[in-house]
């Protein structure tokens, strides 16, 4: 069995054709979606990048792996490997329970390779334990990890596949392109339709809160349109790399026998909730991710039920018939599809610029702000009807007090179930990482 996991930073699902976007940016991803199962309502269980990838790679909730924000605290993952001798009695001695996704493959003797420059963030835990880990270089600036062009990543991936695709493997490929800065040439940007998507048509650019966490000035609709064009041009660019990978597999006769999972670490807000071109909150723009699973022997499908990226590691293990390590939190999406009776309420967290938790039910979404960070105007609690109001424009918490109380209780119960030492509450006390460096 062969599996490729593709992770595209800051990719909003609603800017892809297969999720209904009106611009034709993603023929490569859309074609993959036609061959696989599209999860229409997938979320990062933790965001931004560090907590999101920590959950995906460790297979554990942020409350277990304890990675909840950027900066020094996110560089160490909670596991017996990092514990002092004094804590030796805190675990049962079976390290298999604590293996992360690449380590599972390594220990089971199946070759694995990670291709990503994210480890330079620095993210030491991402480097454990692969057969190979390849860090593509940026052609313009080695001081930052986020300017690696998708072409470089694709080149490394195709070289690896050329040499190593015989037999079973697990290949992880991480792209940066939709993340800032925009590196597309003017002609590539101009090719993109400049019309704003519906959800940005009534954005009030005059409010004081309308600002960018990375200080990008947007003064009027012209700037907003240009910024969306730049973002979309990066999606167009990364899509070409995906198409090149799937075309390569088809040419080599490997496409049918290779499982491909395509996802992102989080989305990107473009101004709909008051911050432009950032992933900064638990709102849908940040927390929703694309998730497409093309697996061998399964028919294409579309699934509306809510799922999160905590299920990716168990799905990959399941595709290879590997028993998932005991501490993993999620469930194989294949088993979930077979058994429709699964939990459809998702608990997520966010820890950069603000600290929030969201509980997303089949229809309603409850957000609790533990620390407002860069946005002091954020209320402590909000409730949205995602069926009527998918972009969270009307807070209904005052009108639906009974429902609000139910969500509040359910969130508390779910948090208690996960951990006795809650790192998200602790971050709420302390304040989010980006908020501190902006002060």
Least Å distance, CB 13 to Zn ion, is 14
Within positions 227 to 266, which residues make up the interface with Zn ion, using CB under 5 A? 265
Q: What is the distance between the alpha carbons of residues 434 and 93, in angstroms, rounded to a whole number?
A: 37
Pattern of binders to Zn ion over 31-50, x per CB under 5 A?
------------------x-
Least Å distance, CB 284 to Zn ion, is 16
Q: Identify which of residues 49 and 258 has a Cβ nearer to Zn ion in the complex.
A: 49
Q: Identify which of residues 77 and 110 has a Cβ nearer to Zn ion in the complex.
A: 77
In sequence order, which ranges of 327-432 are alpha helices (DSSP H)?
333-338, 401-418, 423-430
Least Å distance, CB 268 to Zn ion, is 9
The Cβ of residue 42 has, within 10 Å, a number of other Cβ atoms equal to 26
Q: Identify which of residues 289 and 411 has a Cβ nearer to Zn ion in the complex.
A: 289
Q: Identify which of residues 49 and 315 has a Cβ nearer to Zn ion in the complex.
A: 49
Q: Identify which of residues 63 and 265 has a Cβ nearer to Zn ion in the complex.
A: 265
Residue 9 as a binder of Zn ion (CB under 5 A): the answer is yes
Least Å distance, CB 55 to Zn ion, is 13
Q: What is the distance between the alpha carbons of residues 220 and 236, in angstroms, rounded to a whole number?
A: 25
Calculate the alpha carbon distances from 299 to 207, 252, 260, 261 in Å: 48, 22, 14, 15
Q: Identify which of residues 48 and 271 has a Cβ nearer to Zn ion in the complex.
A: 48
Least Å distance, CB 266 to Zn ion, is 6
Q: Identify which of residues 325 and 373 has a Cβ nearer to Zn ion in the complex.
A: 373
Closest by Cα among 264, 265, 277 to 203: 277
Least Å distance, CB 299 to Zn ion, is 32
Question: Which range, of 6-14, 81-89, 318-326, 417-425, touches Zn ion by CB under 5 A?
Answer: 6-14
SS3 content of the chain, % helix, strand, coil (to 5): 40, 20, 45
Q: What is the distance between the alpha carbons of residues 112 and 170, in angstroms, rounded to a whole number?
A: 5
Residue 177 as a binder of Zn ion (CB under 5 A): the answer is no
- Name every residue whose Cβ is closer than 8 Å to that of residue 159 and which is 6 or more positions away in sequence: none
Contact between 27 and 268 under an 8 Å Cβ cutoff? The reply is no
Residue 392 as a binder of Zn ion (CB under 5 A): the answer is no
Residue with the two structure tokens 């209320």: 379
Closest by Cα among 315, 368, 370 to 338: 315
Least Å distance, CB 179 to Zn ion, is 6
Question: Which range, of 8-16, 137-145, 314-322, 408-416, touches Zn ion by CB under 5 A?
Answer: 8-16
Closest by Cα among 33, 35, 21 to 255: 35
Within positions 47 to 76, which residues make up the interface with Zn ion, using CB under 5 A? 49
Least Å distance, CB 49 to Zn ion, is 3
Q: Identify which of residues 264 and 314 has a Cβ nearer to Zn ion in the complex.
A: 264
Q: What is the distance between the alpha carbons of residues 228 and 182, in angstroms, rounded to a whole number?
A: 11
- Name every residue whose Cβ is closer than 8 Å to that of residue 299 and which is 6 or more positions away in sequence: none
Least Å distance, CB 407 to Zn ion, is 27
Length of the chain: 439
The CB-nearest residue to Zn ion is: 49
The Cβ of residue 370 has, within 10 Å, a number of other Cβ atoms equal to 23
Using CB under 5 A as the binding criterion, the count of chain residues that bind Zn ion stands at 3
Question: Which range, of 7-15, 145-153, 193-201, 411-419, touches Zn ion by CB under 5 A?
Answer: 7-15
Query: Over the range 316-352, which residues count as b (16 or more CB within 10 Å of their CB) and which as e?
Result: bbbbbebebbebbbbbbbbebbeeeeeeebbbbbbbb
Closest by Cα among 316, 325, 322, 314 to 295: 316
Least Å distance, CB 107 to Zn ion, is 28
* Residues 80, 120, 283, 369, CA torsion sign: positive
Q: Identify which of residues 65 and 165 has a Cβ nearer to Zn ion in the complex.
A: 65
Least Å distance, CB 166 to Zn ion, is 33
Q: Identify which of residues 29 and 161 has a Cβ nearer to Zn ion in the complex.
A: 29
Q: Identify which of residues 278 and 392 has a Cβ nearer to Zn ion in the complex.
A: 278
The Cβ of residue 48 has, within 10 Å, a number of other Cβ atoms equal to 26
Binding interface with Zn ion (CB under 5 A): 9, 49, 265
């Amino acid at each position: 069995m062969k599996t490729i996991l593709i992770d595209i930073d800051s990719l909003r699902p609603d800017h892809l054709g297969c999720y209904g976007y009106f611009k034709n940016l993603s023929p490569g991803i859309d074609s993959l979606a036609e061959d696989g199962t599209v999860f229409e309502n997938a979320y990062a269980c933790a965001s931004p990048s560090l907590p999101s990838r920590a959950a995906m790679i460790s297979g554990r909730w942020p409350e277990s792996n304890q990675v909840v924000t950027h900066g020094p605290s996110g560089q160490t993952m909670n596991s017996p490997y990092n514990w002092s001798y004094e804590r030796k009695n805190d675990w049962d001695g079976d390290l298999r329970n604590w293996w992360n996704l690449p380590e599972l493959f390594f220990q089971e003797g199946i070759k694995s390779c990670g291709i990503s420059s994210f480890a330079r963030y620095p993210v030491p835990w991402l480097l454990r334990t692969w057969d190979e880990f390849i860090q593509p270089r940026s052609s313009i600036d080695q001081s930052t990890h986020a300017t690696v062009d998708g072409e470089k990543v694709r080149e490394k991936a195709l070289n690896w596949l050329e040499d190593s695709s015989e037999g079973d493997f697990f290949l992880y490929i991480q792209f940066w392109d939709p993340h800032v800065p925009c590196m597309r040439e003017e002609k590539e940007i101009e090719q993109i339709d400049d019309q704003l998507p519906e959800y940005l048509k009534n954005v009030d650019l005059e409010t004081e809160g309308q600002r960018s966490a990375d200080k990008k000035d947007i003064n009027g609709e012209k700037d907003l349109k240009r910024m969306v064009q730049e973002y979309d041009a990066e999606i167009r660019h990364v899509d070409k790399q995906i198409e090149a990978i799937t075309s390569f597999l088809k040419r080599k006769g490997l496409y049918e026998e290779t499982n491909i999972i395509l996802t992102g670490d989080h989305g990107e807000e473009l101004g709909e909730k008051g911050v432009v071109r950032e992933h900064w909150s638990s709102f849908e723009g940040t927390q929703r991710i694309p998730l497409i699973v093309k697996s061998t022997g399964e028919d294409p499908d579309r699934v509306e039920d809510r799922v999160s990226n905590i299920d990716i590691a168990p799905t990959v293990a399941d595709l290879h018939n590997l028993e998932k390590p005991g501490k993993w939190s999620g469930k194989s999406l294949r088993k979930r599809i077979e058994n429709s009776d699964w939990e459809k309420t998702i608990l997520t967290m966010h820890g950069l610029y603000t600290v929030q938790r969201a509980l997303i039910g089949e229809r309603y979404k409850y957000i609790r702000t533990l620390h407002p960070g860069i946005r002091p105007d954020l209320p402590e609690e909000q409730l949205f009807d995602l069926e009527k109001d998918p972009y969270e424009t009307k807070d209904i918490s005052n009108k639906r007090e009974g429902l609000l109380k139910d969500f509040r209780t359910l969130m508390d119960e779910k948090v208690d179930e996960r951990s006795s030492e809650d790192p998200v509450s602790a971050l709420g006390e302390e304040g989010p990482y980006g908020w501190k460096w902006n002060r």
